[in-house]
A and B are shown apart, each in its own frame.
Chain A
Amino acid sequence: MTRKHALAPAIAALIACSQACAQGEPVRFDAVGDAIPRPLTSEPGDAARGRSIVVNRDAGACTLCHAVPGEKTSGNIAPALAGVGARLSPAQLRLRVADSTRVNAESPMPAYYRTEGLNQVAGAFRGKPILSAQQVEDVVAWLATLKGPQ
């Protein structure tokens, strides 16, 4: 995270921040292979909160690209999320949500928990990950429940 103009973004963030902003939180995780084995927070993920983050257009907005169980409207750019909890472990899900470009460099999926190496980020979002660490854990907790084909 760059800290060049510490005060101005802090004020802008106070005004512009929705609950999706992870203000001031250090963004780092340890990937091992194609997974992040250690949870990003000490509080366990909450699957119900995770679901609402997945479908909320101002938070995860995953339905832009993925079909999501229980949602009628969705894009068709990415694989359907049904059954993803059976295909992938929570640790693998965590890396795919945090930074899918670590799994596939060409991935169009936004890196939800990353602030480094991005270009021309709009002022209101600069230096902030799309989701907070707790939100990533919540999303992973819900994805892990998606075991069946529906």
Chain B
Amino acid sequence: MRFAGLALAAAALAAGAAPAQERAIPSGELKSGSAFLGSDLRALQNDAFANPGMLWVERGEKLWREPAGKKNLACASCHKDTSMRGVAASYPKIDKASGKLFNLEGRINQCRTERMGAEPLRYESEDLLALTAYIARQSLGLPIAARIDGAARAHFEAGRAAYHLRRGQMNLSCAHCHDAQWGKRLLSETISQGHPNAYPAYRMEWQTMGSLERRLRACLSGIRAEMLPYGSQEYLDLELFLAWRAQGLPIETPGVRR
């Protein structure tokens, strides 16, 4: 029995997935954040013509074809139009050349600086949100499938530790709310399972689109914890852990949130 268990665990690790029993929320109980919204916002998200985030997707499609930087190249100069399907579902991901972990925003900026000779785009700039949303939209409905094997493993473990770290003046970890209390109300807001599958998302409270990291910073500020700079290693590691927790949930970008 023990050996069979180990062999199963080893096979699961080899496939890039950790053993299912390590997950606080088993895959059968995974629910997207949209399941915790009122029906009005859910309908808005699902209507591609009314979803306000689609403005960023459209802008992203334009930018995709617009040459930029010293080399006067566009994303479309190197990538085929259909080549981005499934890509967002596999992020954050280890870059083979550098061995570093990149989220989608970081990858876009790496292409700009190293291949196009262009300036990196600032986090939360309209252009970076637009390109990220445009690429993520092409994975609409595909299950999140980030890998945590090889060089990603150490980032995954760091992300897991960050997720469980009590922090801030309110001394709470991500797990206190999103593993232990999902479905319950914090004042009048229902706490979801904290999944990344709808980002970048349009949030009513922001009156605009925002990245996953912007959402994480909102959680951190709520518990009076330090906010790290965008693109920090701790955020990237956390994003990888979130992707693993959400493995199998379909991409919904652009999400609509309260």
Contacts and interface: CB of A to CB of B under 8 A. Distances in A.
Contacts of B181: 77, 108
Contact of B171 (A64, A74, A118, A122): A118
Contacts of A37: none
Interface stretch (B7-15, B36-44, B99-107, B182-190): B182-190
Q: How large is the interface on B (under 10, 10 to 19, 20 to 34, 35 or more residues)?
A: 20 to 34
Most chain A beta-carbon neighbours within 10 Å: one of B167, B169, B181: B169
A63 B185 CA distance: 10
A74 B184 CA distance: 11
A48 B224 CA distance: 27
Contacts of A121: 167-169, 224-226
A110 B172 contact: yes
Contacts of A114: 171
Contacts of B165: 119-120
B221 interface: yes
Nearest to B221: A122
B214 interface: no
Interface in B157-180: 165-172, 176-177, 180
B227 interface: yes
Q: Is the interface of A mostly helix, strand, loop or mixed?
A: loop
B170 A110 contact: yes
A65 B180 CA distance: 13
Contacts of B226: 120-123
A19 B118 CA distance: 49
Given A77-B181, A108-B176, A125-B224, A120 B186 contact: no
B86 to A, nearest CB: 35
Most central of A63, A114, A122 by chain B CB within 10 Å: A122
B172 A130 contact: no
Nearest to A110: B170
A108 B226 CA distance: 19
B224 A75 contact: no
Contacts of B185: 74-77
B167 A120 contact: yes
Contact of B168 (A64, A74, A108, A118): A118
Interface of A: 63-65, 73-77, 101, 108, 110-111, 114, 118-125, 128, 130
Given A122-B168, A125-B169, A130-B169, 20 more contacts: A74-B185, A75-B184, A75-B187, A108-B172, A108-B177, A118-B166, A118-B169, A119-B165, A119-B167, A119-B225, A120-B165, A120-B167, A121-B167, A121-B168, A121-B225, A121-B226, A122-B224, A122-B226, A125-B224, A130-B170
14 contacts: A73-B188, A75-B188, A101-B171, A108-B176, A108-B180, A114-B171, A118-B171, A119-B225, A120-B167, A121-B169, A121-B226, A122-B224, A125-B224, A130-B169
